[in-house]
Amino acid sequence: MPLKHNWRDFQLYVITAGGCHPGRELVHVMEETLKGGAGMLQLRNKTGSRQEVLREAKELRALTRAYDVPFIVNDYPDIALEVDADGVHLGQDDQAIEEARRLLGQDKIIGISTHSLEQGLAAERAGADYIGVGPVFPTNTKPGRAAVTTSYVSEAARHIRIPFVAIGGITLDNVGEVLAAGARKICAVSAIVGSEDPARVCRSFLEAIRSAEAGGHAIRIRLNGKETTTSAGNVAELVEQLGQGNKRLVAEVNGMMIQRSDWTSAALTPGARVELIQFVGGG
């Protein structure tokens, strides 16, 4: 069943990592990321048996189809074909792009991990549909792999013509650096699936990406006790972004009550502590 939209429009790419959420079902965690707006999902299981990977692939194929989100299988073109995944992701030491293309056909997506501009350009010439650029920062999901830093992100933004996804050690605290280097598609693993609220973290990543696209600047604040990212410049803008403009709210910033008439002048700064409480009047 073909996707109903252009898969290249995704902004946030999420990869499975069962070790990051012990005690929580894989499908449940990944559905939370889709609820939060993840635009592409990859199954990556480096330690499980082929039978286990096939079972997970079938479950995630059904899930992603329900959300109309592209589904990619890491390392197993044959499993991608068997479950009718949208594509496969390969590393530098995996099956050649040309071989994967012969197996999967022209309509499937093939992504390639790259760690230098030379590798990125080679993947593009070989027919990759997108590349991963990373790891941007040191990460436990790629132990022993040296970080490529944001320098390669900047090079990719200037020279790579196919979509590229910045990946590796990216969190809400450092995504601004990656976006400033020119990335507009972000992949996060442990920062999302290892969090207590994957949907909320996905929304925060998307807010940062969209702010960068619009030429704005996202900041980190603590909203009702939880870290989040926003491009809002003041309390009024924050309330509107949250879709709460028609609610009766009490607002506090850094412990100070802000009158509604002052919301537009109550600037938000990095690290601000904001409390928004819905007021229910009594009779």
Q: Which two tokens stand for residue 160?
A: 């790579």
Q: Is 140 annotated as belonging to a binding site?
A: yes
DSSP state of 50: H
Q: What totals of helices (H) and strands (E) does the chain contain, helices first?
A: 10, 13
Catalytic residue check, 204: no
Q: In the annotation, is 113 catalytic?
A: yes
DSSP 260: G
From the candidates 61, 101, 108, 113, which is the catalytic residue?
Answer: 113
Q: Do 219 and 269 touch, CB atoms closer than 8 A?
A: yes
- The answer to whether the CB of 30 falls within 8 A of the CB of 60 is yes
Q: Is 139 marked as a binding-site residue?
A: yes
Non-local CB neighbours of 140 within 8 Å, separated by 6+ positions: 190
User: Is 190 annotated for ligand binding?
Assistant: yes
On whether 229 is known to bind a ligand per the annotation, the reply is no
Q: Catalytic residue, from 8, 35, 44, 222: name it.
A: 44
Catalytic member of 61, 142, 185, 203: 142
Q: Is 94 annotated as a binding residue?
A: yes
107 in a labelled binding site: no
Is 187 in contact with 11 (CB distance < 8 Å)? no
127: number of Cβ within 10 Å: 14
Residue 246 in marked binding region: no
- Residue 227, strand partner residues: 222
Say whether 226 counts as a known binding-site residue.
no
113 is in an annotated binding site: yes
Are 133 and 145 contacting, i.e. CB atoms less than 8 angstroms apart?
A: no
Which residue type occupies 184?
Answer: R
Which residues fall in the annotated binding site? 42-46, 74-75, 94, 113, 139-142, 169, 189-190
Residue positions annotated with a catalytic role: 44, 113, 142
Which residues fall in the annotated binding site for Mg(2+)? 75, 94
